[in-house]
Amino acid sequence: MEYQEVEPTREFLARLDTGQDWRDEIESLAREEGIEAGWFNAMGAVQDAEIWFYDQDDQEYQSVTFDEPLEVAACVGNVAKLDGDVFAHTHAVLSRRDGETLAGHLEGGTVFAGEVHLRAFEEPLVRNFDETTGLDLWLNE
């Protein structure tokens, strides 16, 4: 296990703009406030969504899109630098009208309504390629 102590510096509450991309809105907030590391929680609704599932054997993401209104029952993620830019690693549990749930890496979704709590950290975090998993992870050097 690798770990690092982080010092929270600032916290933000934000309402995402209707019609914008869910993840882009979080990344825009981080860029605007100069946040290179943080943790967020969110909830709301999207008009559509693209969810990725990581195939551990092939070490590739598989994409599934949903062109329907979905509740964002839970959304959690972190902010770090990836390839020199801010990246919001976002996971979500989405629900359909009948209560069926969908979950995974939320690559994108058109905001209907969204509320975010973002806690910024003093220490910047950078994602680097991890040979074992094929993923860009924190703290691997």
Asked if residue 2 belongs to a domain, the reply is no
Give the Cβ contact number of residue 102 at 10 Å: 16
CATH number of the domain enclosing 33: 3.30.1330.80
Structural domain boundaries, residue 129 = 9-138
Residue 31 is which amino acid?
A: R
Paired residues of 12 in beta bridges: 118
Position with higher pLDDT, 67 vs 123:
67
* pTM to 2 decimal places: 0.92
Dist CA 100 CA 34 (whole Å): 38
Instruction: With respect to residue 4, please indicate whether it lies within any of the assigned structural domains.
Output: no
Please give the tally of structural domains in the chain: 1
Residue 3 lies in a domain: no
Q: How far apart are CA 73 and CA 43, in angstroms?
A: 6
Q: What is the model's pLDDT at position 50?
A: 98
* pLDDT tens digits, one per residue of 42-92: 999 999 999 999 999 999 999 999 999 999 999 999 999 999 999 999 999
For the chain, what is the mean pLDDT? 95
CA distance 99 to 125: 36
| 102, 66 contact by CB (below 8 A) | yes
| More confident position, 74 or 135 | 74
What band does 141 get if pLDDT is binned at 50, 70 and 90?
low
- For residue range 2-25, what is the model confidence (pLDDT) as tens digits? 888 899 999 999 999 999 999 999
**Which token pair is 47?**
């008009």
